[in-house]
A and B are shown apart, each in its own frame.
Chain A
Amino acid sequence: MGIRNVVQRQFGPVAAEYAVSVVHASGPDLAVLVDVAAAAGAQRALDVGCGAGHTALAIAPHVASVVALDLAEAMLDQARHLAVERGVTNMAFQSGDAEHLPFPDESFDLVTSRYAAHHFPRPAVALREIARVLRPGGILLLVDVVAPPEPLLDTHLNTIELLRDPSHVRDHPVDEWRRMLASAGLYAELLGEWPLRLAFAPWIARMHTPPERAALIRAIFESAPGEVRAGLAIEPDGSFSVPTALLRGSKPLEPRLEEA
């Protein structure tokens, strides 16, 4: 079974949890993302890894149309349900793979992806696909949990993430995202970083993590070195904080357009 099937299997039974997740439905990063998206004056938008649709729903009022794309059909059902509930009519729903986007070149002014990229098996390939479907001058707004720059914290964070969620691939450090955006031909800028506090019980419950794996996460926290406990702000009940970042990747205007 490939990682795509693991993602689909993982998010099938838990889709409804994400529709009501406060972490996913709001946050300072989402507010900035919406501001930047609105200022960009985008017409056609695509949200890659839309999950329950929170990001696509948030930008929908600021664009002509938004396509919400996800690998997991169960998530798309949740997203459509929320859209109907809120009377949002300029959203389309689409099952697809970030590495093989089903759109022609230069189809969108804006691509967003929030808390999804840590599931991309080959993020560099996904970024190239995103760059391909962006029109020249278009932007990607990428939000995700990022790994701290220290390898010690990086290892701990990605280990507990994988224990919690078998479909987790990797939280990348900001510098790695910058490099990957640049090699996809996008001009990378860090627009903001925020700590995200994850309360242990809902974090585990949302993903239906089995108790033995939750216990392993607690064991890792308990034996973690001081740098990790401080860096991830681990609390007695297992709640902790992770860094999140919003990056913008801008597709350069083609030379002939600049001359015109």
Chain B
Amino acid sequence: MSAQAVAAPHAKIAAPEHRETYLNYDYSWKSWLFTVDHKRIGILYLLTVAFFVAIGGLFAMMIRAELLTPQGDVLESETYNKIFTMHGAVMIFFFLIPGVPGVLGNFVLPLMIGARDVAFPKLNLLSWYIFVVGGLLTLFVAATGGVDTGWTFYAPYSSTYSNTRVAETAIMVFITGFSSILTGLNFLVTVHTMRAPGMTWFRLPLFIWASYATALINVLATPVLAITVLLLALERIFHIGIFDPKVGGDPILFEHMFWFYSHPAVYIMILPAMGVISELVAAFSRKRIFGYSFVAFSSLAIAVLGFLVWGHHMFVSGQSAYAGLVFSVLTVLIAVPTAVKIFNWTATLYQGSVEFATPFLYVLAFFGLFLIGGVTGLFLAAMGLDIHMHDNYFVVAHFHYVMVGGMVTAFFGGLHYWWPKMFGRMYNELTGKLAALIIFVGFNMTFFPQFIVGYMGMPRRYHAYAPEFQVLNVLSSAGAVVLGTGYLLAAVNLIWSLKFGKVVTEKNPWGATGLEWETQTPPIPHNFEVTPRVTQEAYAYHEMYSGKEAHGVH
């Protein structure tokens, strides 16, 4: 979509005067590609991420098409290996990780803390360019033969035996990782130094706490992945091994180093999504968040504990049983801060004046899906049970419930919530609700059967399977079509609104707290006419609505 299509303030607007916004002050392509405005960079991320999601989704559909029948008839087994690898790599590195921070974080984080921009605007643009370079490299890999190791790149298959583009993919991950590191660094510093006067740490919206915790993981974990894949690439290119056991290397070391990043990375994916949910829960129940500081600190607790549980991916790898035990216990512990969030959100809804708007439907979907994903995570954390579940569809279902059911659902909720602020247009509410409903139904249709086939013993990453699993796989593939339709409908509704949606000029269409709702819609280039001064806690709905509605009565 072009800048014009996004921006054009039409004559239909009642107010005739020209209002300068971050979208319309300059329409040239240069003003977009060289922008240092965090809001425009957020839009750039939105476009790129949407592009990669479409590609990743296409791979997913090919997987589900293959799995319609027990025989491997649609794709060769080698092709199938490449398709699921590319599906995983694209979705993780180009959507799940940059999705919420890149798009929503970039757009709202400085607005929420009353800043004119992030601390390092040029670095922010550089992050996007690095991201694009990584993306182009991915497309190159996909177009020239792909890679078949799975997104985990386990050695020595990846380092020695695979005949596919492992080195190029490793370099892609290396490059893309720095985009993530620099965004994290930027957010970290922004939260420390750019807060408006009066915006103390305990007045920060919970999305900021979550983004801050995520940024810590970005900065601390991602470099370890960078060096790991660099060693992998060096091993591939120069045929000198440190991960190949044939010459004394230790493949388990690769797994340790890989998961030292890649487990915290799942919190990079889910924590910002949880931050979005905190915002939406408060906004649509018109109530201050129950247990604000518990929710805030639970983000930090998840970030810290998240560094200590990586070994639960390696229960069957040959690590010591004692290590396994410790990792198992720590993994169970991480359910505590997660449950703190869920309970506090639920308690927030209690006696709130709940409004069932589209973003809120996504919140409810998140509760249901994330709860199932989280609880099945506890099954997998139990070492004994995991030996049965390892590398089967139960695991696949679990992480899709957490990642897609969690992160993607929250992303859509947040996108709908901040959409009028971003573009000054409102999507069609009925279509929005319908899409949320279809996504919820389609999601469960797709992934719930996978818990069952997994428990029955269907392994992941094969293009053929035992015939007795077919019924549930057909259900899953049918669900994927429903799910895809739901996402498409939501996307079409949002894109449609850019041109035909109701124009939103009021600052605060949802009646929500938060500085992002106290500036113009869409915001002016430098966010605020006058630097805001914060005098209240983050979710002062009781103040906002006192005297307007009877409190606690719907």
Q: Do A and B come from one complex?
A: no
Seen from chain B, the residues whose Cβ lies within 8 Å of a Cβ on chain A are none
Seen from chain A, the residues whose Cβ lies within 8 Å of a Cβ on chain B are none
